[in-house]
Structure 1
Amino acid sequence: MDQMKDVRWRQRFENFEKSYLLLKKYSQKEINNELERAGVIQFFEMTFELAWKVLKDYLESQGFIVKSPRETIKRAFQIDLINDGHIWLDALAKRNLTTHTYDDALAEKLLQDITNFYLPELTILYKKLSKD
């Protein structure tokens, strides 16, 4: 059973990696229009969803029991898998908001937050899990 959990987080990590690399690539380019901005936000939503799920799978492979994204983020912070739990919780709130609402001002602010806060935290996670 433990081996299956180990395989599951590694498989999920592969999907996270693909999405993360696309987010990194396109968030570092100049955004010239609404479509490009929406695309980066969509990559963020997808990458963040995969990130918390890979965290959950990883934690479960280590013997932890977590059920929700919030609980997963808190436990990952406690064991030093992620660096800034507050940024992760903020990213969770923003991801939940953007999946149900579209507002130009919110989208522009989110784009800045993705570049300045969320992508650096996702990069830390990517590097830590790449080593395992």
Structure 2
Amino acid sequence: MKSLPQSCTQCFEEFKTALEDLRVYTQSSKSHPLTDNQTRELIINFEVAHELALKVITKYFEKEKKGPFSGSRDATVEAFHADLIDDGKGWLDMIIDRIQYNPVYPINTQKEFINNIINKYIRLLNRFEDKMEKELY
């Protein structure tokens, strides 16, 4: 059985759930050091929230009859120009950090990546949630 494509609003609801999960991990990291398992969970939750944010952006532009985009960078730049996000550089940094943080590569970027998630990226995702809440409802 074929399923219907998700709407922008449905994608946004999934994003909000993932962002709330990420908030739990970022808040707990402020009260005590994260265990290795919690660190992995924080990264996974961030990646899920970011992917869903990008999916919301893509669905929003589909609804507006814009796109398709060749990748996350193009969608991010277009979202900045459309005022869906307010810090284009910060969002592009998220993409770069995700690319650089790859357990396959020998570069150890995990500590900086975690720090950026907790101190920068969660704020960007929160502001995106606020903006999209106004756009969609």
What is the TM-score normalised by the length of structure 2? 0.83
**Aligned match of 2:50:** 48
Corresponding position of 1:26: 25
* Poorly superposed stretches of 4+, deviation over 6 Å: none
Which structure has the highest helix share of the two? 1
Hey, what's the Cα distance between the residues in 1 that align with 2:102 and 2:10?
25
Give the drift of 1:48.
0.6
Sequence identity percentage? 28
Name the structure 1 match of 2:8: 9
Please give the alpha-carbon distance, in whole angstroms, between the structure 1 residues aligned to 2:60 and 2:92: 18
The alignment covers a number of residue pairs equal to 128
Residue 72 of structure 1: aligned partner: 75
Question: 1:107 matched to which residue of 2?
Answer: 110
2:131 counterpart (110, 128, 131) = 128
What displacement does 1:35 show? 1.0
Aligned with 2:7: secondary structure? helix
Task: List gaps (5 residues or longer) in structure 1.
Answer: none
Cα distance, 1:106 vs structure 2: 1.4
Q: TM-score by structure 1 length?
A: 0.86
